[in-house]
Amino acid sequence: MKDFFKDTLKVVELASVLAGPAVGMFFAELGAEVIKIENKKTGGDMTRTWKLPSENPVSSFSAYYASVNWHKTSLLLDLENLTDRQQLYDIIETADIVISNYRLQVAQKLGVDYATLSAFNSSLIFAQLNAFDSESERPAFDVVLQAEAGFMYMNGEADGLPVKMPVALIDVLAAHQLKEGILLALLRRTQTGKGAFVQTSLFEAAVASLVNQATNWLMGGYIPQRMGTQHPNIAPYGDLYTCSDGQQIVLAIGTEKQFAHLCYQLELEALLEDPRFDTNAARVKNRAALNTLLSEKISVRESSILLQNLEKQGVPSASIRNMQQVFELPSAQSMILEETWPDGTLSQRVKTVAFEIQA
């Protein structure tokens, strides 16, 4: 997969922070040449300075920056300088894709908007990422969108405050939307030879990702509430339990067959005949009583043995892992990409490409 676009695709990244650079890294992983244009006046992408206390304070890179900037050629330019701007225009003449998250008025002022750049290259695919819509000049980071699109309201414990997701997931989702649009534009270009203007927004990507929670409101008139890890439509699903060794596990029971196998494993067969728990709807209604019974049985089981037995019976379940434990898994280790920065720092991040294509 790493050579899919090798020597065939040139991408110019006029984007910073996470969503836009994640799109650029996607194409870099597939072999494209990706040129990242960074602001010379500010020392580059602002995430270069978003460092943990444990990171090297004098390095010009951060772990955050590394997460979405693998295998790119970084070029520091001041686009208010006409010489630097012309350098960009020269690159655009042979580029295939431009990824931009400039607000429209700023892009027009700097001469890097779609109308300007497409005049240099009629086959150019210009991919624009907005915060809200194409006319809005409102700035936003991921947490703003998590709040505006309803994620924070429904995320957290029932008796707690709204909580943001611990990764900038709206940025990640918007990156996927933009990639899909670019790939369709590339397909169309092979048929017509014409470039295209592709755009999405963080807000639209967020709303598109509300799926069943949105439909619970649109069709059921139900405003999703904070439920911790629990699921409004299924039980037990997302419910947490502590085993005898102190390890927490989570269950995700989606079918009656899975619930039956869970009951057999925990010696709770009587629940299958109990009208409080004999259907999913009944279990959702009586979730608290069900969790009390499940917790009592799970609390005396050793986590690894219980999880092995549940897996054998096709019951979805998992151990709650921290980041160290995640990357002790071979399948996670195979997702790591390494690169040595110009200052000698060995950087690591995970792939954005998580698929394979076989002929």
Give the pLDDT confidence of 216-273 residue by residue, as tens digits: 999 999 999 999 999 988 999 999 999 999 999 999 999 999 999 999 999 999 999 9
Token pair for residue 321? 């892992």
pTM value? 0.91
Q: Which one, of 49, 108, 56, lies nearest residue 79 by Cα?
A: 108
- pLDDT number for residue 57: 86
pLDDT tens track for 160-182: 999 999 999 999 999 999 999 99
215: burial class by Cβ within 10 Å (0-12, 13-18, 19+)?
exposed
Mean pLDDT, residues 73-87: 97
Residues pairing with 251 in the sheet: 239, 317
Contact partners, residue 206, CB within 8 Å, separation at least 6: 145, 146, 148, 149, 151, 170, 173, 174
CA–CA separation, 38 vs 18, rounded Å?
A: 14
Q: How far apart are the first and last CA of the chain?
A: 11
Where are the domain boundaries for CATH 3.30.1540.10 in the chain? Answer: 237-320
* CATH 3.40.50.10540 residue window(s) in the chain: 10-208+334-350
Whether the CB-CB separation of 235 and 294 falls below 8 Å is answered with no
d(CA 185, CA 196) in angstroms, rounded, equals 6
Q: What is the pLDDT of residue 182?
A: 98
Using a pLDDT cut of 70, give the percent of the chain over it: 100
| Residue 165, CA atoms < 13 Å, CB-side half-sphere | 18
More confident residue, 134 or 191: 191
**How far is residue 306's CA from residue 287's CA, in Å, rounded to a whole number?**
21
Q: Work out the pLDDT band at 350, boundaries 50, 70, 90.
A: very high
The 10 Å Cβ neighbour count of residue 58 is: 6
> In this predicted structure, what is the pLDDT of residue 33?
97
The alpha helices in 149-254, defined as continuous H runs, are 151-154, 169-192, 202-208, 211-220
Q: Band of the pLDDT at 102, cuts 50, 70, 90?
A: very high
Q: What is the mean pLDDT of residues 43-60?
A: 91
Polymer length of the chain: 359
pLDDT at 270: 96
Nearest by Cα to 64 from 171, 197, 196 = 171
Tell me the CA distances in angstroms from 234 to 20, 214, 226, 231, one per residue in order. 36, 16, 15, 6
Asked whether 23 and 127 are in contact (CB, 8 A), the reply is yes
Contact 111, 103 (CB under 8 A): no
**Domain 237-320: CATH superfamily, name plus number:** formyl-coa transferase, domain 3 (3.30.1540.10)
For residue 134, pLDDT beyond 90:
no
pLDDT on residue 135 = 79
Domain 10-208+334-350 architecture = 3-Layer(aba) Sandwich (3.40)
Say yes or no to pLDDT of 1 above 80: no
Which residues, including other chains, have CB under 8 Å from residue 112's CB and lie 6 or more apart? 14, 79, 85, 88, 100, 102
pLDDT (mean) for 299-311: 97
